[in-house]
Structure 1
Amino acid sequence: MKTLKDIEIDGKRVFIRCDFNVPKDEFGNITDDRRIRAALNTIRYCIDRECKIILASHYERPEPGKYEDKYSLKPVAKRLHTLLKIKNEVFMANDVVGEDAKEKASKLQPGDILLLENLRYEAGETNNDDTFAEKLAEFADIYVNDAFGACHRKHASIYAITKYFDKDSKCAGFLMSKEVNFFSKVLENPVRPFVAVVGGSKVSGKLQALTNLMNKVDKIIIGGGMAFTFLKAHGHEVGNSLVEDDLLEEANNIILKAKKQGVKFYLPVDVVAAPEFSENTTVKFLPIQEIPKDWMGLDIGPATTRLFREALNDAQTIMWNGPMGVYEMDRYSKGSMAMSNNIAQTHATTIVGGGDTADVVQRAGDAEEMTFISTGGGASLKLIEGAKLPGLEALEN
């Protein structure tokens, strides 16, 4: 896979696929610009080589063909201009491949930047449509994929578009190559003990990753909503907690496989339980054996936090994907915050994967202490699973 430094781009028109899918508040203000910052090195490199730069990204899931303001990338163009500290404005197209985008692209001077509107306004993006991909390709001489967070999706701007560029005209941006190299190095040759901390709500999305991790790690720590599927498979009463009943057997198989392979497998021993999913209800710290039938677990409890901290003590490599509870509500965020603090305090190489997990680390004030924070949760999970990522495959061909 070629990177930006391997190809000749001076003075050329460069199309950079970024991942600007950033969180906004109810007023449309960007609340976390980490993904925009992550793309700056690639963009600056192209500015310094007097390229004409076309940026493209998706944002959430608008209805194709319907241009709604709340899904617009206009706030991203403003933030990008502020972060780049450049004199010229970042030009914003009013469409994706329409007349406005074409006209603005044709007037670009060396070092100028044009941001296209949300790619998903066009149905062709998610359908991996060749005709749409060709229209995007017409904007540029060089294609750069710097959207690691989206490269597990077979979409037009990630996959189909690469057909229209030869092997010397397409490459990975700096962020993409950094992410891929980091994960590959850690997964192929980790310093041991290697501990995987896996949380989040569902087992189904992480089943293959867990199975694959089993052959690579020394310990697995399970938290978040997915822990209750494992606890129920173990025979515990979990009340109204989130459980995927169709995966109980799979969960049991993972526990048995861990035992067989000598991988230490940790599950919560207590939880923060409540009768309903709400910020203002009664909560109790309960051992997992005592969850009432009509209550639900919404965070790991203090005893579990201590147990998990002990399990992390000798770790040399830690990979964390998924929060320990419903961290968005203050009452159920303590387990995730404590996990972030405990991981940050180790002397291990620490890799944080996924938007939610990165958000926890940010809120806990531990971002500076982590070795590496990935911009892509889904993509990093696919890499761990050993799956082929369409975005990488397209650049290799």
Structure 2
Amino acid sequence: MKEIKTVNDFNFENQTALIRVDFNVPINEYYEIIDDTRIQYSIPTIQKIISEKGKIVLISHFGRPKGISSKTYSLKFLTHYLYKKLKINVFFHENCIGETVVKKVNELKNGEILLLENLRFYKEEEREDKNFAYELSKLGDIYVNDAFGVAHRFHTSITILPKFFGKKKCIGLLMKKEIQLLGQFSYGKGKRPITALLGGAKISSKIEVIENLIDFADYILIGGGMSYPFIKMKGGMIGNSMIEKDQIIEKTLKKIFFNKKMNIIHLPKDVIIADSFKNEANTKISPIHSIPNGWMGLDIGPFSIKKFCKIIEKSKTILWNGPVGVFEFSNFSLGTRLIAKSIANTTEKGAFSLVGGGDSIAALKMEKYDKKISYLSTGGGAMLASLKKNKIKILPGINAIK
């Protein structure tokens, strides 16, 4: 952190801050925000600059418009929301670059905010385009990256744009907190016992994370679709359970199996199996290593829930990313909901908990436990990338600020 400047290292009076935020928030059909965590966590950075009589230009992506402008992915709906949060008028411009945008920026007064249109309306954003970065660089005096959710992306506004600001670039308070807290896990600095719970459908994005965590965690709990490659490698029968087939995954799994600390990895013993992938499917409880053909595991079973919760309850530091079942199906959500409850209760008793990933946070909010967690990470993908071996130092968005 010493080699990375933050907004606290600058005085923004009479300066225009070009802030890359991550306002890619989930919304409903009425454009009402379902989860505003990412915006809420960026507010302190914005308030710091405004309090110093600085000017702000906000740039963000929203959804995946693939370089095509559309009302569906416009950021304009956020101006009213930001006004309510900041009690400051937030201006909007329907472009990100061009003479009219530069004119609008130059007209800003101290303490005013301008939100620009979706960066991904420009194909150049996802191509590390120097010309696009140069045009964006005209819009600010100091570059601020407060978008941890995309810090792992090689996108123009993340990796190329900062190069045009020399030493006048920094990270925001959201990014600073994410880096500090994830650093605790990356280097095993948390209070022990340290427990990491990893779930979700795919193991490919988390296999390197397991390699890193096994060096310092006390317990690694693995659920969801991630568990089946382990069971299959141990010679178990997994029926029709979903599994990723990849030679690199298999090679890394073998490496983990021969690790002396393999005993800290805990897999489910039993699972709720179904005869089809739907909420109304026929179900029964089965040992995870002997799932019949035609059946698939869609949630962890009662014995595994009890075992996982028991480990969580004696932990002092907890990291969670990914559900342990297909929790969007109510009949297969019990495991994930009880895990969420256990982490929330353990946190209330003094443990530190860090939860990342859209599904995990959605599960917490569904059960109204989100306020009981120590910190909700704003970036699932960036969180996982930072937890791979030695990656916290070289996330593209962090490296670009050094």
TM-score (normalizing by structure 2)? 0.93
Q: 1:199–1:225: 8 Å Cα contact kept in structure 2?
A: yes
Is 1:72 the counterpart of 2:109? The answer is no
Residue 294 of structure 1 deviates from its aligned partner by 1.0
Name 1:250's counterpart in structure 2. 252
Name 2:171's counterpart in structure 1. 172
Aligned partner of 1:364: which letter?
Answer: E
Name 2:322's counterpart in structure 1. 322
Name 1:391's counterpart in structure 2. 397
Q: 1:75 to 1:301 in 2, by over 3 A?
A: farther
Alignment map for 1:114-263 (pairs within 5 Å): 114-167=114-167, 169-188=168-187, 189-246=189-246, 247-257=249-259, 260-261=260-261, 263=263
Q: 1:150–1:376: 8 Å Cα contact kept in structure 2?
A: yes
Residue 181 of structure 1 deviates from its aligned partner by 1.1
User: Partners of 1:284 and 1:262 in 2: how far apart?
Assistant: 30
Q: 1:211 to 1:37 in 2, by over 3 A?
A: same
Aligned partner of 1:250: which letter?
Answer: T
Q: 2:20–2:147: 8 Å Cα contact kept in structure 1?
A: yes
Residue 262 of structure 1 deviates from its aligned partner by 6.1
Q: CA RMSD of the aligned region, Å?
A: 1.6
Is 1:35 the counterpart of 2:35? The answer is no
Name 2:354's counterpart in structure 1. 351
* Residue-by-residue CA offset, 1:333-362 (whole Å, 9 max, x unaligned): 111111111111224211112222222222
Name 1:360's counterpart in structure 2. 363
Structure 1 residue runs without a partner (length 5+): none
Aligned partner of 1:382: which letter?
Answer: A
* Residue-by-residue CA offset, 1:235-255 (whole Å, 9 max, x unaligned): 111111111233345324323
User: Partners of 2:366 and 2:87 in 1: how far apart?
Assistant: 26
* Residue-by-residue CA offset, 1:54-87 (whole Å, 9 max, x unaligned): 00111121121x211111112222222222123x
Name 1:372's counterpart in structure 2. 375
Q: 1:129 to 1:366 in 2, by over 3 A?
A: same
Residue 104 of structure 1 deviates from its aligned partner by 2.5
Is 1:22 the counterpart of 2:25? The answer is yes
User: Partners of 1:69 and 1:284 in 2: how far apart?
Assistant: 46
Q: 1:271–1:298: 8 Å Cα contact kept in structure 2?
A: yes
Q: 1:200–1:324: 8 Å Cα contact kept in structure 2?
A: yes
Mean alpha-carbon deviation: is it higher for 206-215 or for 178-187?
Answer: 178-187
Q: 1:30–1:75: 8 Å Cα contact kept in structure 2?
A: no
Q: 1:230–1:252: 8 Å Cα contact kept in structure 2?
A: no
Aligned partner of 2:203: which letter?
Answer: V
User: Partners of 2:154 and 2:262 in 1: how far apart?
Assistant: 37
The size of the alignment, in residue pairs, is: 390
Aligned partner of 2:395: which letter?
Answer: L
Q: 2:185–2:387: 8 Å Cα contact kept in structure 1?
A: no
Q: 1:283 to 1:98 in 2, by over 3 A?
A: farther
Tell me the SS of whatever aligns to 1:158.
helix
User: Partners of 1:358 and 1:185 in 2: how far apart?
Assistant: 20
Q: 1:220 to 1:50 in 2, by over 3 A?
A: same
Mean alpha-carbon deviation: is it higher for 181-190 or for 244-253?
Answer: 244-253
Aligned partner of 1:395: which letter?
Answer: I
Structure 2 residue runs without a partner (length 5+): none
User: Partners of 2:132 and 2:265 in 1: how far apart?
Assistant: 47
Q: 1:226–1:242: 8 Å Cα contact kept in structure 2?
A: no
Residue 331 of structure 1 deviates from its aligned partner by 1.6
Tell me the SS of whatever aligns to 2:238.
coil
